DNA sequence: TGCCTGATAGTTATCGATAACTACGACCAA
DNA sequence: TTGGTCGTAGTTATCGATAACTATCAGGCA
């Protein structure tokens, strides 16, 4: 770049160089802005030779188009919004990581926000992303109603539900088969000889409901049924859902008229809390009570008692979600909502192995 | 909104409503666009009554300004870029969560990218963020040179280094006092009566160097010194840095001529690997060998042997970084680079408690 | 020769907001 | 009455790119 830039630069501010614009390159090469633009976007309306020359110069000058300007005229921002309930939760961290990896190199930036498992906050975050006109949204939602999603649809922005379904909403979905999760976990406990199998369930999301269903089905398949008080719920405030919530829930189970000899927990942090409660009560795992978690994202092998857990392959969820997202913003997006169900796998460790 | 929108709508596309624009509101209220704009941004050049009327209507119509248009004219995108080495690593996940929480409600969106601890990839991600004209960047960098940062500075974009310093770069920094980390960990082991204290160090970042320094200083303060082969390094490929790397490094230490009786590990995942190696070798923790980790972000209480760890308060790091970032994009940004050093705290658990 | 076609490059208007300036009336002092 | 100031609202140009159209020229064909 040898020619000076047009216009009057107010002050030659020390070291705060304005980025190169198409106009600059155009003047530099004796072409029109349009030609640069066409070259950059592989528009057919230009000769191969010119395109090569322009691209070479673009690389030399390290030119990057102003995405705000492009967004203004095209209406596409080249951004993807991702809403998760908690970035610290290893499951969602892994999903985020995989989505990030899956969209890398496609020219999109990922705006990641956390809802802290709070419905109102999640609606705000979704509104922010709408205001920002993301091209597609990925949401692991804490919502129980479809209202926010109607707003997204009104704007014509495609979105994908991750991990959690919203009943009555025919949306794109990538997640695990939660009924299979519950079935797998409970069946395993029965197979190991446990009979009084309890469940610490999660809050009112499709995920929790599906797992309860699978758990019940597994018991029923062996002519068993949950004993009274053997399904306990985690508090609905976000803070109770992890380890402390698991501790409290397990204590409740230990006081039940018939003490369970196996507990299937909604997720691993809850299982951790449950294990602590059991050990604190002077009981042994798995001799007195077996524990199965879900997620398999913790360092489960290193726990006091290595934890049997249902693996949801969160990396695959993130990867598939990223692929679907790119398809939705691509040239010929699928018209019908697509559902990708991952089959869960059980990873057996000491916490559920009857000797 | 009762009046029809201007211009010719090509087709009244079913349910894909274009968002409301200032122009629409202006026409609707019989005002000019400028008045709406001024009301929205609390410009003084407008009467209180008009402002209230406009804001009321804005809220009714759920108007959200087009940020791309605003960015184009103002040059500010209302976005913050965050680059971390790994979203799955609990330390960085916690930092990301805290940054997200700390910037929430200030009108900024957070673009989070992961470098996978790869220098080239990190440079790419930084370039992406530059292309996107983020207003400020937060980087936990894997770089060893200042080159990328010069590019950021050339653009006049403020940035903050998180956790890891770059030598010779007088930049804003928020992180922990790493020398104190090493000193704290090693001193604790000495206090507990251990004498042959080894260190599994991290790759060549300021963090790792600082901890080595502190570790050496603690030993020297008690007339001790690292024995030959007692400082081993984790491979530099990202994959080796976690648990598997810790396992391999610890095996090396166990084969040393003089076996260590205490190991200070660069971080918790490494400590986990080291613990596994020790237990696999038929040795006991902490009777034969004590282990101290760093990070304190795992569920350390639940491990086979609860792990003593140096707490870096990653939440505070994220919070302070967010505050500083907001200050840097604020009306009167600090001119001199600011350094915020968090004092580490030791959390003692069974893995280092000599009976 | 004259007209059409295809390939390539350029012109113009536009996206939605804001900076900078202008317009206008009310009010006050000289 | 005149001129200046203040408070409020409007006008115009602009940010950097792209969509849609136009211009130009070479070549083919009748």
Q: What is the per-residue pLDDT across B198-212, written as a single tens digit (0 to 9) for each?
A: 999 998 889 999 999
Which tens digits make up the pLDDT trace of B296-343?
Answer: 877 778 888 899 999 999 999 999 999 999 999 998 889 899 999 999
pLDDT of residue A179: 97
Calpha distance B89→A88 (Å, rounded): 9
Calpha distance A216→A210 (Å, rounded): 10
Work out the average pLDDT over A314-318: 97
The two tokens of residue A36 are: 């640069």
**CB under 8 Å, gap of 24 or more: what pairs does A115-118 form?**
A115/A83, A115/A84, A115/A85, A115/A141, A115/A142, A116/A85, A116/A86, A116/A238, A116/B101, A117/A85, A117/A86, A117/A142, A117/A238, A117/A241, A118/A142, A118/A238
Residue A177 near residue A342, CB atoms below 8 Å:
yes
Work out the average pLDDT over A162-189: 95
Nucleotides of chain C in contact with protein CB (under 7 A) are 7-12, 14-21
Work out the average pLDDT over B132-161: 93
Listed range (A294-303, B6-15, B71-80) with the worst mean pLDDT: B6-15
Work out the average pLDDT over B253-271: 95
Is residue B15's pLDDT more than 60? no
Residue in the block written with tokens 């190169």: A20
pLDDT of residue A331: 87
Q: Which of B263, B253, B249, B266 is nearest to B203 (CA)?
A: B266
pLDDT of residue B237: 53
When the pLDDT of each residue in chain B is averaged and rounded to a whole number, the result is 91
Q: Which residue has the higher pLDDT, B18 or B337?
A: B337
Calpha distance B114→A100 (Å, rounded): 7
Yes or no, beta carbons of B112 and A112 under 8 Å apart: yes
| Protein-nucleic contacts, chain B 58-77 to strand C, CB < 7 Å | 65-66, 69-70, 72-74
Give the nucleotide with minimal C1' distance to the Cα of A25: D16
Listed range (A120-124, B84-88, B161-165, B243-247) with the worst mean pLDDT: B243-247
Nearest residue of B to residue A94, measured between CA atoms? B88
pLDDT band at A239 (very low <50, low <70, confident <90, very high): low
Element (H, E) at B153: helix B147-154
Phi-psi region of B229 (alpha: psi -120 to 50; beta: other; left: phi over 0): left
Supply the DSSP symbol for A75: S
Interface with B, mutate which of A132, A295, A302 (most B CBs under 10 A): A302
Chain centroid offset of residue B138 CA? 7
Calpha distance B335→B324 (Å, rounded): 12
Residue A330 near residue A322, CB atoms below 8 Å:
no
Calpha distance A126→A128 (Å, rounded): 5
Calpha distance B162→B95 (Å, rounded): 9
Q: Which residue has the higher pLDDT, A6 or B99?
A: B99
Chain centroid offset of residue B192 CA? 33
Residue B68 near residue B96, CB atoms below 8 Å:
no
Yes or no, beta carbons of B132 and A275 under 8 Å apart: no
Within 8 A of B79 by CB-CB distance, chain A residues are: 111
Strand ranges (DSSP E) for chain B? 79-84, 109-114, 136-139, 159-162, 172-176, 197-201, 231-233, 262-265, 290-295, 308-311, 339-342, 345-347
Contacts of B27 (CB under 8 A, 6+ apart): B3, B6
Give the nucleotide with minimal C1' distance to the Cα of B25: C16
Residue B161 near residue B126, CB atoms below 8 Å:
no
Residue in the block written with tokens 């309306």: A45
The two tokens of residue A152 are: 């997204």
Helices (H), chain A: 22-29, 33-40, 48-61, 67-74, 90-103, 119-131, 147-154, 178-191, 206-221, 243-254, 268-280, 314-328
Calpha distance A350→B313 (Å, rounded): 32
Pairing type for strands B345-347 and B79-84 reads unpaired
Pairing type for strands A231-233 and A172-176 reads unpaired
Is residue A270's pLDDT more than 60? yes
In this structure, is the CB of residue A310 within 7 Å of any atom belonging to strand C? Answer: no
pLDDT of residue A3: 39
In this structure, is the CB of residue B15 within 7 Å of any atom belonging to strand C? Answer: no
CA of B71 to C1' of D12 (A): 20
Residue in the block written with tokens 């991600």: B125
Is residue B69's pLDDT more than 80? yes
Is residue A149's pLDDT more than 90? yes
Q: How far is B131 from chain A (nearest CA, A)?
A: 6
Calpha distance B243→B267 (Å, rounded): 10
Residue B138 near residue B81, CB atoms below 8 Å:
yes
Is residue B225's pLDDT more than 50? yes
Yes or no, beta carbons of A93 and B93 under 8 Å apart: yes
Is residue B132's pLDDT more than 90? yes
Which member of B68, B110, B128 has the closest CB to residue A111?
B110
Calpha distance A278→B122 (Å, rounded): 45
pLDDT band at B12 (very low <50, low <70, confident <90, very high): very low
pLDDT band at B241 (very low <50, low <70, confident <90, very high): low
Which tens digits make up the pLDDT trace of A283-312?
Answer: 999 999 999 999 987 777 888 889 999 999
Which member of B17, B65, B68 has the closest CB to residue A77?
B68
Yes or no, beta carbons of B68 and A111 under 8 Å apart: no
Residue in the block written with tokens 């707490």: B311
Q: Which residue has the higher pLDDT, B236 or A91?
A: A91
pLDDT of residue B9: 37
Work out the average pLDDT over A158-171: 93
Contacts of A246 (CB under 8 A, 6+ apart): A200, A234, A265, A269, A270, A271, A272, A273, A274, A276, A277
Is residue B247's pLDDT more than 60? yes
Yes or no, beta carbons of A302 and B275 under 8 Å apart: yes
Calpha distance B189→B185 (Å, rounded): 7
Residue A135 near residue A76, CB atoms below 8 Å:
yes
Yes or no, beta carbons of B96 and A113 under 8 Å apart: no
Calpha distance B302→B19 (Å, rounded): 51
Is residue B240's pLDDT more than 90? no
pTM, full prediction: 0.91
Within 8 A of A102 by CB-CB distance, chain B residues are: none
Yes or no, beta carbons of A304 and B304 under 8 Å apart: yes
Within 8 A of B127 by CB-CB distance, chain A residues are: 64
Yes or no, beta carbons of A272 and B302 under 8 Å apart: yes
A vs B, Cβ pairs < 8 A, gives 145
How many C-beta atoms lie closer than 10 Å to residue A335's C-beta?
A: 6
pLDDT of residue B4: 42
Listed range (A230-244, A297-311, A328-342) with the worst mean pLDDT: A230-244
Is residue A4's pLDDT more than 50? no
pLDDT of residue A131: 93
Element (H, E) at A159: strand A159-162
pLDDT band at A238 (very low <50, low <70, confident <90, very high): low
pLDDT of residue A216: 98
CA of A9 to C1' of C12 (A): 26
Work out the average pLDDT over A106-114: 97
Percent of chain B with pLDDT over 70: 93
pLDDT of residue A286: 95
When the pLDDT of each residue in chain A is averaged and rounded to a whole number, the result is 91
Nucleotides of chain D in contact with protein CB (under 7 A) are 7-12, 14-21
Supply the DSSP symbol for A301: G
Percent of chain A with pLDDT over 90: 80
Interface with A, mutate which of B291, B302, B318, B335 (most A CBs under 10 A): B302
Contacts of B163 (CB under 8 A, 6+ apart): B91, B95, B140, B174, B175, B176, B207, B317
Yes or no, beta carbons of A66 and B72 under 8 Å apart: yes
Interface with A, mutate which of B246, B299, B317, B335 (most A CBs under 10 A): B299
Give me the half-sphere count of Cα atoms (radius 13 Å) on the Cβ side of residue B210. 18
Residues in chain A: 355
Give the nucleotide with minimal C1' distance to the Cα of A38: D18
Calpha distance A203→A208 (Å, rounded): 6
Within 8 A of B116 by CB-CB distance, chain A residues are: 101
Within 8 A of B100 by CB-CB distance, chain A residues are: 87, 112-114
Nearest residue of A to residue B315, measured between CA atoms? A88
In this structure, is the CB of residue A115 within 7 Å of any atom belonging to strand C? Answer: no
The two tokens of residue A122 are: 């999640």
Q: Which residue has the higher pLDDT, B222 or A237?
A: B222
3-state DSSP helix/strand/coil % of chain A, to nearest 5: 45, 15, 40
Q: How far is A13 from chain B (nearest CA, A)?
A: 10
The two tokens of residue A101 are: 């990896």
């Amino acid at each position: 770049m040898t020619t000076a830039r047009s216009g009057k630069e107010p002050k030659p501010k020390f070291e705060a160089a304005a980025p190169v614009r198409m106009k600059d390159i155009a003047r530099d090469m004796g072409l029109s802005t349009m030609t640069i633009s066409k070259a950059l976007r592989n528009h057919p309306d230009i000769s191969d030779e010119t395109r090569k020359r322009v691209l070479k110069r673009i690389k030399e000058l390290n030119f990057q188009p102003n995405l705000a300007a492009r967004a203004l005229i095209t209406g596409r921002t080249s951004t993807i919004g991702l809403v998760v309930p908690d970035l610290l939760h290893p499951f969602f961290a892994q999903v985020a990581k995989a989505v990030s990896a899956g969209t890398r190199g496609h020219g999109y930036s990922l705006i990641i926000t956390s809802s802290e498992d709070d419905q109102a906050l999640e609606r705000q975050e979704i509104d922010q992303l709408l205001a920002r006109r993301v091209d597609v949204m990925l949401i692991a939602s804490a919502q129980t109603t479809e209202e926010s999603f109607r707003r997204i649809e009104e704007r014509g922005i495609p979105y994908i539900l991750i991990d959690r379904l919203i009943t009555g909403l025919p949306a794109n979905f990538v997640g695990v088969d939660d009924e299979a999760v519950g079935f797998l976990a409970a069946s395993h406990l029965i197979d190991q000889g446990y009979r009084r199998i309890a469940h610490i369930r999660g809050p009112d999301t499709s995920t929790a409901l599906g797992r309860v269903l699978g758990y019940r089905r597994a018991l029923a398949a062996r002519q068993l049924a949950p004993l009274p008080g053997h399904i306990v719920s985690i508090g609905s405030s976000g803070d109770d859902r992890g380890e402390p919530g698991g501790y409290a829930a397990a204590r409740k189970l230990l006081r039940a008229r018939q003490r369970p000899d196996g507990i299937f927990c909604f997720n691993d942090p809850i299982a951790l809390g449950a294990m602590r409660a059991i050990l604190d009560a002077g009981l042994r795992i798995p001799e007195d009570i077996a524990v199965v978690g879900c997620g398999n994202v913790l360092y489960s092998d290193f726990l006091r008692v290595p934890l049997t857990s249902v693996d949801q392959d969160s990396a695959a969820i993130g990867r598939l979600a990223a692929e679907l997202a790119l398809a939705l913003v691509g040239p010929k997006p699928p018209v019908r909502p697509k559902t990708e169900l991952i089959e869960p796998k059980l990873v057996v460790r000491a916490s559920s192995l009857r000797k």
